[in-house]
Structure 1
Amino acid sequence: MRPRLWERLKVMAKLDDISYVWGEVISGIVNKAACNSIWSIVQRLLFGLVVYFIWQERNFRVFQKCARSGEALFSLIVETVRLRLMGLKILRVSPAVKEASLI
């Protein structure tokens, strides 16, 4: 995983305590308590999207011989998180939800 991309994403999702080493990232996410707080939802959603888009980028580079910039990946991941959060009907308006909506 690109450290600069992960650094920017993990700050946005309040995952400052998570490492850059892939195995430690996975164990850090798995060991975090899953609850229905907005930040828990954002963190789990972000992690899944990072895995998916990094895998997709790898396939683009290997099979189509094209690559997206780190900035393009960052924008794509953030926009996808935003759209998924907008689609959730379980969110109640709270200060944390308002803060998360700035992502």
Structure 2
Amino acid sequence: MSVKRKPLSGIQTRPIETPKAAPEQSESPTGSTVQSPERPVSQHHRPSRADKAQIAAFFPPEVRKQLKLIAVEQDKTVQQLMGEALNLLFAQYQRAEIAPTERR
């Protein structure tokens, strides 16, 4: 049985905010210098996350609970435990253990 869904054509979208950066200058085809408009600073910008990528997966809630319990018991962060787990996986596949495991 198929479900009738409303068309998406009536949905209004808002532009995505991007971080502010210094205006870039470039040369136009006529030879004059043109300034790009400034980008707005995102309220979600975190310098500690620069040059890092998020890795995510979906598991049952009890997996998350168990991971958090281990973190508390071992006085570590979930981030540290995930680094350890990834390094064990990398070692199993003969890859360099490059995931950081130190506390930030």
Q: Output the TM-score relative to the length of structure 1.
A: 0.29
Larger radius of gyration: 2
Q: Output the TM-score relative to the length of structure 2.
A: 0.28
Bigger strand share:
2
Bigger helix share:
1
